[in-house]
Amino acid sequence: MTGVDVDHHAIGERVTTLAPELTAFRRQLHAHPELSWQEHQTTATLMARLEKSGLEPRVAPTGTGVLCDIGSGGPLVALRGDIDALPLRDTKAVPYRSTVEGVCHACGHDVHTTTVLGAGLALAGHLDRNPGSGRVRLIFQPAEEVVPGAAVSLVDAGVMHGVEAIYALHCDPAVEVGRVGLSVGPITSAADLLLIRLHGAGGHTARPHRTADIVHIAARIVVDLPMSLSRLSDPRDMVNMTFGAIHAGDAANVIPTEASVAGSLRAAGRPSWEAAPERIRMLLAAIVDPLGATWELDHRIGAPPIDNDPFAVGHLDAAAHAVVGAEGIGPTVQSSGGEDFSWYGDHAPAGFIRLGVHTPGEPVNDIHTGGFDVDERSIPIGARILAGAALEGLAALSGD
């Protein structure tokens, strides 16, 4: 097998050549966002651009999203970018503002997709000149913004078969352009969604003892369930349940027959997250059953924490050193947000890096807001780091 040529300079030159096109590509995606599982135009756009370079992309088995293998022979690593947008109004006054009312790339997925595309295009020619040195699988994943996300479906469909390391990035508006955040260990949190429905005999508020007092029970759940769950969990896992919606009744003097509460479950550690479903059911029974109501739980499993593997982080770190230098690399703290990239890490060492996208001196607009935007100088930086990490991984796996 031919050795892997880890030439960060050559990758950098190729990405620099592509940079104007990548910026235009990102703006096209930003202006035409698509919600989870509806990314048909984005899928077609990616297919067309990859085919233009002589590659052989294929539509992902999920119906939207794209898979594309580059290179031949040798070990296999993967790069993942997510392609869906959020149901959110774009409030920016920019030429590439969303043309789809109520839909916006407010989490940076347009940048994630573009950096993986740029990395793939830069790697294609490089690996072709080194046949047998290794392969890179580009995973353009749909539906990251919903629960459950598409990562589970893609893993079940076999996209990680043979993959020995996988890398991804995420825009970080708190980090200035030209800098990145990278750490070993957990860097996101587990995230699930919960909907609890309650049913019981209603009646007059003058005689609550003759009813199942649904509003009272709903209030008990909102207060007692999070507190009790935290007492059953390892404090190091930092389990947090927060409710965002309560629906019950219409009149001040009528006890309703139905209620619902909806919220999210987040956990910094995996053990307590995995134990949470059984514990939640046990606690719901203890709270609700003695008060005469019945309950239904819709617990949508989201994703475990991303646990950055030292092996994969080492490749991202080497690539980042080549692109932004040691002074441009800092640690990243664990976020309470969830990201379904974690499911890939169950099947291969995974590395996740935070890409600085904030323009120095400008106000910070957080992700998941209509005003979120990026400094587009971050795009070639992200593409170079992902491409470099892939080459570092192939070199390590081939023993170079």
User: Residue 34 corresponds to which tokens in the numbers above?
Assistant: 């698509």
Contacting residues for 244 by C-beta, under 8 A, at least 6 apart: 262, 263, 264
In this structure, the answer to whether residues 155 and 43 fall within a common structural domain is yes
pLDDT tens string 150-179: 999 999 999 999 999 999 999 999 999 999
In this structure, the answer to whether residues 131 and 107 fall within a common structural domain is yes
Indicate the helix (H) or strand (E) that contains 349.
none
In this structure, the answer to whether residues 299 and 341 fall within a common structural domain is no
Query: Are 197 and 247 spatial neighbours (Cβ–Cβ below 8 Å)?
Result: no
User: Residue 155 corresponds to which tokens in the numbers above?
Assistant: 């893993």
In this structure, the answer to whether residues 135 and 50 fall within a common structural domain is yes
pLDDT at position 1: 44
The last residue of a domain, from among 255, 272, 303: 303
Q: What distance in Å separates the CA atoms of residue 43 and residue 98, rounded to the nearest whole number?
A: 17
User: How many domains are there within the chain?
Assistant: 2
Cross-strand bridge partners of residue 353: 169
Q: Is residue 2 part of a domain?
A: no
In this structure, the answer to whether residues 296 and 328 fall within a common structural domain is no
The last residue of a domain, from among 275, 303, 331: 303
pLDDT (tens, 9 = 90+) of the chain, 400 residues, equals 457 889 999 999 999 999 999 999 999 999 999 999 999 999 999 999 999 999 999 999 999 999 999 999 999 999 999 999 999 999 999 999 999 999 999 999 999 999 999 999 999 988 988 788 899 999 999 999 999 999 999 999 999 999 999 999 999 999 999 999 999 999 999 999 999 999 999 999 999 999 999 999 999 999 999 999 999 999 888 899 999 999 999 999 999 999 999 999 999 999 999 999 999 999 999 999 999 999 999 999 999 999 999 999 999 999 999 999 999 999 999 999 999 999 999 999 999 999 999 999 999 999 999 999 999 999 999 999 999 999 999 999 998 6
CATH number of the domain within which 130 lies? 3.40.630.10
Contacting residues for 199 by C-beta, under 8 A, at least 6 apart: 212, 214, 257, 258, 293, 294, 295, 296
Q: What distance in Å separates the CA atoms of residue 200 and residue 212, rounded to the nearest whole number?
A: 5
Cα–Cα nearest to 139, from 71, 74, 82? 82
Cβ–Cβ contacts within 10 Å for residue 51, how many?
12
Q: What distance in Å separates the CA atoms of residue 84 and residue 217, rounded to the nearest whole number?
A: 38
Q: What distance in Å separates the CA atoms of residue 57 and residue 162, rounded to the nearest whole number?
A: 18
In this structure, the answer to whether residues 176 and 69 fall within a common structural domain is yes
**Residue 293: domain span:** 190-303
In this structure, the answer to whether residues 181 and 285 fall within a common structural domain is no
In this structure, the answer to whether residues 239 and 382 fall within a common structural domain is no
Q: Is residue 3 part of a domain?
A: no
CATH number of the domain within which 211 lies? 3.30.70.360
In this structure, the answer to whether residues 207 and 139 fall within a common structural domain is no
The last residue of a domain, from among 303, 333, 355: 303
| Amino acid found at 83 | I
In this structure, the answer to whether residues 337 and 392 fall within a common structural domain is yes
Q: Is residue 1 part of a domain?
A: no
In this structure, the answer to whether residues 297 and 370 fall within a common structural domain is no
Q: Is residue 99 part of a domain?
A: yes
User: Residue 38 corresponds to which tokens in the numbers above?
Assistant: 């509806």
Query: Are 119 and 386 spatial neighbours (Cβ–Cβ below 8 Å)?
Result: yes
Indicate the helix (H) or strand (E) that contains 142.
none
Q: Is residue 142 part of a domain?
A: yes
Q: Is residue 325 part of a domain?
A: yes
In this structure, the answer to whether residues 150 and 37 fall within a common structural domain is yes
